Amino acid sequence: MAKKQVSANIFSTYVKWFWAMILAGIFSLSLLFLSVSWGVFGVLPTFEELENPEKNIASEVISMDGKTLGKYAYENRTPVHFNELPDNLIKALVATEDERFYEHSGIDFRATLRAVAKLGKSGGGSTITQQLSKLLFHGEGSKNIVERVLQKFKEYVIAVRLERQYTKQEILAMYLNKQGFIFGAVGIRSASRIYFGKEPIDLKTEESAVLVGMLKNPRQYNPRREISKNKSLQRRNVVLGQMARNMFVTEAFKDSLQQLPIRLNFSPEGHNDGTATYYREYLRNRMKYWIKNNPKPDGSLYNLHRDGLKIYVTLDARMQAHAEAAMRTHMSNLQRVFFKEQQLNDTAPFYDIDQDQINLTIQQAIKRSTRWKRMKRRGVSEKDILASFDKKTNMTVFSWKGEIDTLLSPRDSILYYKHFLRSGLLSIEPQTGYVKAWVGGINYKHFKFDAVKQQKRQVGSTFKPFVYATAINQLKLSPCDKLPNTKYTIPKEKYGMPAPWSPKNSGDKYGGELSLKAALAGSVNVITAQVIDMVHPKNVANLAKRLGIKSRVPSYPSIALGSVDLSLFEMVGAYATFANKGLQIEPLTILRIEDKNGTVLEQFVPNSKEVLSEESAYVVINLLEGVTKAGSGVRLRTTGASYPDNIATGYPYEFKNPIAGKTGTTQNQSDGWFMGMVPNLATGVWVGGEDRAIHFKDIAQGQGASMALPIWALFYQKLYADETLGISQEDFERPEVVNIPLDCTKKNPETDLFEEEIEEDIEF
């Protein structure tokens, strides 16, 4: 009996100690949880911080047709709501990351105990909510074991608070919005667009499985990296297996998807990538000015890279894509022809200058380079900087067949890039002033200079319509009026010039009389010289200013032939005035700016003013239509050799609709222009080398009709093929009253000299 009593007392003591330890453990854990929640081990996020966790939200550039053209961001992240996520993505996430997500309140104790028992070998015990708390509030944690344990408890507390504050759906959306997927993708929307070229809601089940699979380790399971493609495929199949295990998909469906390869539509969204890159850089600089002058209500300034502004712009993503494609098609071909010509050029790619001038040109390019400026800031001597330009180094260079990894000295790379012809395109809707397409160059990553807004080049014969417009508006001249096609000299005393001015026709072709319509169609210089002398150069310069030209236009007769340097932006805006019945509307690029909550911060409206009468504007259009019917733009309507077999005479475009246009070629073929309009879209194209000494040797290849017009034509072919764009093929609207005669019924045989003729050289 005594032994039994002793045994009973010992057992009772053990039981008491056992329960005491259990209670002490529970008390200690409870106290630890309370201490963490009270902030004893570090401040926890407040209620307000939980409600509005700090995020870097990308500002987004949105086209008129609702497409994202690009973003400005420290993190390329644009949040989406739960209802913008596909069901297959949610199921893949829950099945893989947290099977009991809908059953727990932030902490899955069963998973946690399993992870502890197996020392994490079968996976961690963190729920999606815990992972979100880590992402939002305390990062990856410390390597110190004590700090890691404390951070884990903080994670538990924050997870519980998140569950109380948000719905399950909101937690899932926040989690996916915060995840990083490398290659500039932060958040599920960026990842979906970058890896698959689509919005999240459009993801297929197998695509969602790829992205969910990346959550474990975005670099190790990245489908874009060559080294991790197989791992990504295997991980995707694990996710699909988890979906089947949780009965989100059938076994048969899972098996069929696991047999598929990963098909990416990789569309990087870095500043050098994507569409409208040159425009986005222009817009970024424009937004700096806007931000400086439009503070927040509290007086602080918006941050373009983290405040989630939405910038709605006038560009149409479809038209922008067509414009970029048209430029790529023609410029890659034109470059092939130019490279072939340069093989016979001892001073390639330069003409007209000697070796000393070439060396000076390269030297100037060196001093404008990023390498020079960077080394200069570091205090490196000019001698050492110059020496570095002659040392070969590994670099990636541009080619029309794709980037090339090569070994070149920086000096040689400068000469290599000098060989490439550059180009710019701008389209404006005349009735609104909306800029619809903006292509500033052939490749923004390798050629940063914008040929639309930054660059100013001699405009050649594209300036002539301003001369004719002045005469029509002031003197009511008719396209049928004739002037003698003879050599013409303006004395130097008349306009205070340093010497008399005697322009020449291309090919020295003279004789007889020409109507103004025939003269403009054939770009006859001596006729244009007579017209500007009739109206005075100052009046032409004034009209150019009223048409929207902001650059200086001198009051000298030589401006008649385009001796002035202007931007493509200015020229297209001015031409659009003719199509808009003489009403000049300042080109507009931004519609409105909203904050991240959708509050409109500013709406933009264009300024407008009447520059010409409707009658005068219509008569100018009539003149310009003559250029595409029987002048240097006639190849828009003819059938030639198949493009791209013949750059000079190809282009079987066969446009039938009314087109008003003008080609332009400057001296030595340094610049090729084409300005073309239909009633609801005006587009200008420029092509040339970086320097004026870089050009084609002869005018057949180097004229505006060969260099620039084809881009316009390819672009409009694509526009007309896309009926959703509504680009007009109708006649220009005729005013109710037109007193100026337009029907030149008597055919002048002299005009045949200029039909389908080449462009002119400027003679100053």
Q: What is the pLDDT of residue 760?
A: 46
pLDDT tens by residue, 465-490: 999 999 999 999 999 999 999 999 99
Are the C-beta atoms of residues 764 and 559 closer than 8 Å to each other?
A: no
Q: How far apart are CA 266 and CA 232, in angstroms?
A: 15
Rounded mean pLDDT of 100-117? 68
339-373 in b/e form (b: 16+ CB < 10 A) is: eeebeeeeebbbbebeeeebeebbeebbeebeebe
Q: Token digits for 35? A: 């201490």
Over 80: is that where the pLDDT of 612 sits? Answer: yes
Q: What is the pLDDT of residue 749?
A: 42
Tell me which range, 135-139, 177-181, 545-549, 634-638, is most confidently predicted by mean pLDDT. 545-549
Q: What is the pLDDT of residue 112?
A: 56
Rounded mean pLDDT of 411-437? 97
* Domains of the chain, CATH where assigned: 77-268 (1.10.3810.10), 357-418 (no CATH), 422-750 (3.40.710.10)
At 41, is the pLDDT very low, low, confident or very high (cuts 50, 70, 90)?
very low
Least confident of 114-128, 151-165, 284-298, 358-372: 114-128
What lies within 8 Å, CB to CB, of 751 at 6+ separation is: 514, 515, 518, 521, 522, 630
pTM for the predicted model, two decimal places = 0.78
At 656, is the pLDDT very low, low, confident or very high (cuts 50, 70, 90)?
very high
SS (H, E, C) 55-94: CCECEEEECCCCCEEEEECCCCCCCCCHHHCCHHHHHHHH
Q: From the DSSP assignment, how many helices (H) and strands (E) are in the chain?
A: 26, 18
Q: How far apart are CA 391 and CA 257, in angstroms?
A: 52
pLDDT tens by residue, 679-701: 999 999 999 999 999 999 999 89
Least confident of 114-123, 306-315, 644-653: 114-123
Rounded mean pLDDT of 753-758? 39
Q: What is the pLDDT of residue 389?
A: 95
At 126, is the pLDDT very low, low, confident or very high (cuts 50, 70, 90)?
confident
What lies within 8 Å, CB to CB, of 540 at 6+ separation is: 466, 467, 470, 532, 553, 559, 560
Q: How far apart are CA 65 and CA 147, in angstroms?
A: 51
What lies within 8 Å, CB to CB, of 712 at 6+ separation is: 326, 425, 661, 674, 676, 683, 685
pLDDT tens by residue, 191-203: 998 999 899 999 9
What percent of the chain shows pLDDT beyond 90? Answer: 68
Q: What is the pLDDT of residue 165?
A: 84
Q: Token digits for 134? A: 């880590």
Over 70: is that where the pLDDT of 710 sits? Answer: yes
Rounded mean pLDDT of 325-349? 95
Are the C-beta atoms of residues 449 and 522 closer than 8 Å to each other?
A: no
Q: What is the pLDDT of residue 79?
A: 83
Least confident of 6-20, 66-80, 575-589: 6-20
434-446 in b/e form (b: 16+ CB < 10 A) is: bbbbbbbbbbbee
In the chain, the amino acid numbered 225 is: R
Q: What is the pLDDT of residue 355?
A: 94
Over 90: is that where the pLDDT of 384 sits? Answer: yes
Over 50: is that where the pLDDT of 121 sits? Answer: no
Least confident of 17-31, 422-436, 718-732: 17-31
Q: How far apart are CA 633 and CA 233, in angstroms?
A: 54
Over 70: is that where the pLDDT of 677 sits? Answer: yes
Looking at every residue in the chain, the average pLDDT score rounds to 87
pLDDT tens by residue, 50-105: 555 556 788 999 999 999 998 887 776 778 899 999 999 999 999 999 888 898 87
Q: What is the pLDDT of residue 2?
A: 56
Q: What is the pLDDT of residue 650?
A: 56
Q: What is the pLDDT of residue 104?
A: 86
More confident: 18 or 354: 354
